[in-house]
Structure 1
Amino acid sequence: MPLPASMRYVDLPSFGEAGVMAFATGPLPAPRPGEILVRVEAAGVNRPDVAQRQGTYPAPKDASPVLGLEIAGAVVALGEGVTEFAVGDRVCALANGGGYAEYCAVPAGQALPWPKGFDAVKAAALPETFFTVWANLFQMAGLTEGETVLIHGGTSGIGTTAIQLAKAFGAEVFATAGSDEKCKACVDLGAKRAINYRTEDFVEVIKAETAKRGVDVVLDMIGAAYFQKNLSCLAKDGCLSIIAFLGGAVADKVDLGPIMVKRLTVTGSTMRPRTADEKRGIRDELVAEVWPLLEAGTVAPVIHTVLPFDAVVEAHRLMESSQHIGKIVMTLG
């Protein structure tokens, strides 16, 4: 079946609030060497999309300026040199941009088969959070069986993924969330204890729960507002892994002493600037280590809301409200 000459996509004529997004029509992207072209059936909505829309998270120079970092659909064309996929394969993928569109070109090394039994919606809820959690919590922070971890934002897409994966690989999990309902969701996903940060001091709770030892790893998306408190939560030789700055990027009057006294490691990363080879390496480990857990039902994406593509403004406003538990996914077609 021949491909259409044009497609609908979400245009961003200017930075601003959600209402600045508008639909436009343009040519399909042509897959470059090493890329595949995917007819998008579902696309995930993520906080980096909101940041890009607001003008604080620009797309890399060689990436599509169109919003959208994770998709699921069918392969419809192959770029030069691609041999690991064929036209018709059902894939989900971490896109470098361009996911809010009917067609999206992605590097083949960032695409994965749908786990057995998954549909487009469930598959589209995987790439961004699973790539991020695997890279930061397991590869960089080195979380292993028998260790303890504190996960902030436990009911976000990242948080729900991190709780499940940490539990599945034998760690003891603590999480923070902003309501009793959200705390219950964290416990249901596998957290030993969830902490309502609006009514409890998570530092004191962690000290009490660990007999003052602290946790081995903190996965943090708050940044400056939690930096000192996170250092206080860590055990000797612990690691603070920072993946976002929802509470600011500049920390004032921080006591760095605990880093030396407790031999702490502070690390952080963003996914988008990583090289294609780095992302392929994460992809390969996910297929080997995590996809069997998804297919067995041990781990599953938590999906809060599924909206039609035309409701992209509503999807962004829901993301910004922080009222969701898990992922927001849009369907196309």
Structure 2
Amino acid sequence: MKSITLSDPGKPSTYIFKEFPIPEPLPGHVVIEIRAFGLNHAEVFMRKGEWNETAEVSGIECVGVVHSCPGGEFAIGTKVAAIMGGMGRTIPGSYAEYTRVRVGNVASIDSSLSWEDLAAIPETYATAWTCIFRNLELSRGQTLLVRGGTSSFGQAAINLAVNAGAKVIATTRNLDRAPMLLGLGVKRVELEGPELSKRLPETKSIDAVLELVGNSVLLDSLATLKRGGHLCLAGFLGGLAPIPDFNPLLQMPSGVHFSFFGSFVFGEPGFPLSDVPLQKIANEVAEGRYKARPVRVFRFEEIAEAHKVMDENHAGGKMVVVVGKA
């Protein structure tokens, strides 16, 4: 099988194409013939050697068909999605024609969507759904602030929250993208930047914050919450630098809830992928309830070009790569 590999894993690398044997069947695992995979900023950090664990074959998600499954959990030929489970980190990932993933990180999806459309869903929507409905416990009528709304993750979260009847305020670094966010159903768009809490009329009345910019604005986001409000930190668009001299006793507002979610826990105890209604989400995408189609689609051979677009922050949404028969 063909794979896209890092020329020097763990260090700044370029991608090369390499032949590997198709993974052998293994109990408790599923071998998937990959038809398409989504692109994620985590893979940019892996390519640059800025991730603590990096496999030779990158990629943390895919969609495809079951090639083998010794335990019989999935029938051969079943259409599936796979997320995390060490892909791209501790085991070969999805930048390939085949991959082998633990059963607990695989979900069947019966959908009429094309492979490229289906590939835009798994990682982004599974993570956004968990943040919105598990960590933030968002409900109808509540106000949600999404910092980093134009990212593919932010757009997925907005789709889910608006569809659930929440009032959504979103931020962007470029107000030229405001019409796109308004088209997703947000009530208002704010310019992303320091001290948003001092500019936001709703400060101290926000029910929930999805923090995708990260540590650089975390304390400012906490300041927007009302008593009993929830903040979920789930992104690092503003970089990985830690908060200097963070002292919760002195800097955390009283009576608010702060949590973190990283999708690398999917498939671990307490975080089954089956908890996420991926089939329902795919159905709603097919029905047009969510604007979830990929903004750009690349061929397998165009991986370098795709990463160039991510490096330049020109994507504006989810990008996918189609593989082989797709």
TM-score normalized by structure 1?
A: 0.86
Q: Distance in 2 between matches of 1:324 and 1:151?
A: 18
Quickly say closer, same or farther: Cα 1:109–1:295, change in 2 above 3 A. Answer: farther
Shift of 1:8: 0.8
Is 1:327 matched up with 2:318? Answer: yes
Corresponding residue number in structure 2 for 1:269: 261
Quickly say closer, same or farther: Cα 1:127–1:228, change in 2 above 3 A. Answer: same
SS across alignment from 1:229: helix
SS across alignment from 1:191: coil
1:256-275 Cα distance to aligned partner (Å, 9 max, x none): 556343x1111112221444
Corresponding residue number in structure 2 for 1:4: none
Structure 2 portions without partners, runs of 5+: 88-92
Name the aligned partner's letter for residue 238 of structure 1: G
Q: How does 1:243-282 map to 2 (within 5 A)?
A: 243-247=234-238, 248-252=240-244, 256=248, 257=250, 259-261=252-254, 263-280=255-272, 282=273
Name the aligned partner's letter for residue 39 of structure 2: V
Moved more, 228-237 or 244-253: 244-253
SS across alignment from 2:316: coil
Tell me if structure 2 keeps the 8 A contact 1:133–1:161.
Answer: yes
Is 1:233 matched up with 2:227? Answer: no
Corresponding residue number in structure 2 for 1:3: none
Tell me if structure 2 keeps the 8 A contact 1:305–1:328.
Answer: yes
Corresponding residue to 2:133 among 138, 141, 147: 138
Corresponding residue to 1:318 among 309, 312, 315: 309
Corresponding residue number in structure 1 for 2:143: 148
Tell me if structure 1 keeps the 8 A contact 2:148–2:192.
Answer: no
SS across alignment from 1:52: helix
Q: Distance in 2 between matches of 1:176 and 1:274?
A: 27
Tell me if structure 2 keeps the 8 A contact 1:131–1:283.
Answer: no
1:46-92 Cα distance to aligned partner (Å, 9 max, x none): 011111122222448xxx642111111121111x3232x21111222
Quickly say closer, same or farther: Cα 1:32–1:205, change in 2 above 3 A. Answer: farther
Shift of 1:226: 0.3
Corresponding residue number in structure 1 for 2:90: none
Is 1:35 matched up with 2:29? Answer: yes
Q: Distance in 2 between matches of 1:311 and 1:254?
A: 42
Shift of 1:291: 4.1
Shift of 1:21: 1.4
Is 1:159 matched up with 2:149? Answer: no
Corresponding residue number in structure 2 for 1:127: 122
Quickly say closer, same or farther: Cα 1:66–1:260, change in 2 above 3 A. Answer: same
Corresponding residue number in structure 2 for 1:49: 43
Q: How does 1:1-333 map to 2 (within 5 A)?
A: 7-14=1-8, 15-17=10-12, 20-59=14-53, 65-78=56-69, 80-83=70-73, 85-95=74-84, 96-97=86-87, 98-114=93-109, 116-197=111-192, 202-206=196-200, 208=201, 210=202, 212-247=203-238, 248-252=240-244, 256=248, 257=250, 259-261=252-254, 263-280=255-272, 282-287=273-278, 290-333=281-324
Name the aligned partner's letter for residue 215 of structure 1: I
Identity of aligned residues (%): 27
Structure 1 portions without partners, runs of 5+: 1-6
Q: Distance in 2 between matches of 1:154 and 1:325?
A: 10
Q: Distance in 1 between matches of 2:63 and 2:283?
A: 19
SS across alignment from 1:303: coil
Quickly say closer, same or farther: Cα 1:239–1:56, change in 2 above 3 A. Answer: same
Tell me if structure 2 keeps the 8 A contact 1:319–1:328.
Answer: no
